[in-house]
Chains A and B, each alone.
Chain A
Amino acid sequence: MKQTTVTGKTVEEAVSAALIELQASREEVEIHVLEEAKRGFFGFGGKQATVAVSLKEKDPVAYAIAFLQEVTEQMGVPVTISLQESSEDIALQLAGEKIAILIGKRGQTLNALQYLTNLAVNQYSDHYVRISLDAENYRQRRQESLERLALHTAQKVAATLKAVALEPMPSNERKIIHLALRTNQRIETTSEGVEPFRKVLIRPKRIKN
């Protein structure tokens, strides 16, 4: 959380200086007076006022929505954003006319927006907040197609006894593959390579005696 300690001739002056430094308005901050100003005799023994001013924590969901609204508007792709309540995380659903632009090839634009939104929200939050973004159920559809790919490739590996490497994927997508094949007795999965080119390797299970 951003905060600053400022001294001034009066409490009022110190607070004003702190607001300029934090680039905030009075409603956005909490003010603690550490020391009141005291007037001395003939210019001696006087004390300046000291205040500690800190930015109030913003509501992460409201902040995320406002951030995304502004970003998508400036991209020229205005959207409506709705919050999907869930116990685990904060899920925002984007809907609008040209939603494909916000999803991008293999979801890369959606993933970039999600990453930047998380950075922006956590810049102001004390505790770590995790926000997930979806647009027109893209993530659900992507999960289903990854699961199909996993099963199909596993069948091929089991039949040919030759390992197959899938194309590079982000960690959440690799996890979907690993989970989809976890109970398969004939093959095993590992991840290999270095981000962002890390990929899943599906190979026949070695037969143990």
Chain B
Amino acid sequence: MGETMIAELIETIVKALVDHPEEVRVTEHMDGNKLVYQLSVHSIDMGKVIGKQGRVAKAIRTVVNAAGAHNNKQIALEIV
């Protein structure tokens, strides 16, 4: 069974969606028992990672949460 790599997972997905993959940054910190990931992208790409009515952000969160749940981790993804 493979290891879950949440930060890398977020980077892989987001880099595939944006025009400026070189400016995709993901940082990780703990908040209580929750793992919090902060994602930042080039300002031009903001719309691409959020999407209409947050559809893209929701899809990214769904995938990330599935990966976290299978490792019994609570995950929050913040887009800053």
Give residues in A with beta carbon < 8 Å to B. 2, 23, 67, 70-71, 73-78, 97-98, 101-102, 104, 108-109, 111-113, 115-116, 119-120, 123, 195
Q: Which residues of A contact B21 (CB under 8 A)?
A: 23
State A101–B1 Cα separation when bound (angstroms).
13
CB-contact partner of A74 in B4, B19, B53, B56, under 8 A? B4
B1-32 CB contact bits vs A (8 Å, 1 = yes)?
Answer: 11111101100110011010110000000000
> Nearest Cβ in chain B — how far from A59, in angstroms?
15
B59 CB–A CB distance under 8 Å: yes
Bound CA span A104–B63, Å: 9
Query: For residue B13, which residues in chain A have a CB less than 8 angstroms away from its CB?
Result: 71, 116, 120
Give the complex CA separation of A195 and B22 in angstroms: 33
Cα distance A78–B4 in the bound complex, in angstroms: 10
Whether the Cβ atoms of B4 and A102 lie closer than 8 Å is no
How big is chain B's contact interface, by range?
Answer: 20 to 34
Residues of B within 8 A of A67 (CB): 12, 16
Query: Is B55 a contact of A75 with CB atoms below 8 Å?
Result: no
Chain A positions within 8 Å of B22 at CB level: 23
Interface residue SS majority, chain B? helix
**Smallest CB separation, A77 vs chain B (Å):** 7
Say whether A102 contacts B66, CB under 8 Å. Answer: yes
Min CB–CB distance B76 → chain A (angstroms): 17
List 17 interface pairs A-B (beta carbons < 8 Å), by A numbering: A67-B16, A71-B9, A74-B2, A74-B6, A74-B12, A77-B2, A77-B67, A77-B70, A78-B2, A101-B70, A104-B62, A112-B63, A115-B55, A116-B16, A116-B17, A119-B56, A123-B16
A101 with B12: in contact, given A23-B21, A74-B5 (CB under 8 Å)? no
Binding site for A on B (CB under 8 A): 1-6, 8-9, 12-13, 16-17, 19, 21-22, 53, 55-56, 58-60, 62-63, 66-67, 69-71
B2 touches A73 (CB 8 A): yes
- The chain B residue sitting closest to A71, CB to CB, is B12
Residues of A within 8 A of B66 (CB): 75, 101-102, 104, 109
Residues of chain B within 8 A (CB-CB) of A108 are 62
Residues of A within 8 A of B3 (CB): 76
Instruction: Find the A residue at minimum CB distance from B56.
Output: A119
**Bound complex: CA A195 to CA B58 (Å):** 13
What residues on B are CB-neighbors of A73 within 8 Å? 2
Q: Which residue of B lies closest to A78 (CB)?
A: B2
Once the chains are docked, how many angstroms separate the CA of A101 from the CA of B72? 12
Q: Are A115 and B16 in contact (CB under 8 A)?
A: no
Report chain A residues within 8 Å CB of B56. 115-116, 119
Question: Closest CB-CB distance, B2 to chain A, in whole Å?
Answer: 5
